[in-house]
Amino acid sequence: MKKLALKEGPRQVGEIATGIVDQMIDEAVAKSAGDMLRESLDTDSAKAKLKSYVDRWERLEEERQAHAADQNEVLKEAESDGFDKAALKTLLGWRKKGEDKVKETLGYVAVYHDALGMDVLP
């Protein structure tokens, strides 16, 4: 915290004092929130629930990573059969977004394409 100096003007002293008070309030709120959290975890059942949530999250994360690896294998298979991986990923993204959202996005792309004078799209 900054100490108030005698050479500071009234306005500066007020700003410094406000900053000090704000800091003290923030520290008190953070401390009381931390205390409340510690108190809420004092029971064995609360600790067990917390552990259960963490375990479930970690299990889901492992499953997500396994699914991602499986999806990459599917893309590799498609690529080995001659399909373009980037085009497939684009189509998969479009299917996920839905027809209306894709049409809206393609409309913007066409407008931007024309505005830049690009000749890439058919």
Residue 25 token pair: 């309030």
Share of the chain above pLDDT 70, in %: 81
pLDDT-derived band at 12 (thresholds 50, 70, 90) equals low
Is residue 84 over pLDDT 70?
yes
Residue with tokens 């067990």: 48
Torsion, Cα 72 73 79 84, to 10 degrees, reads: -20
pTM: 0.51
State yes or no: pLDDT of 15 exceeds 80.
Answer: no
Q: Which of 18-27, 48-57, 59-68 has the lowest mean pLDDT?
A: 18-27
Contact call for residues 120 and 113 (beta carbons, < 8 A): yes
Per-residue pLDDT tens digits for 17-43: 777 777 777 776 666 766 777 777 778
Question: Is there a contact between 94 and 102 (Cβ–Cβ < 8 Å)?
Answer: yes
Backbone angles phi, psi at 97, to 5 degrees: -75, -35
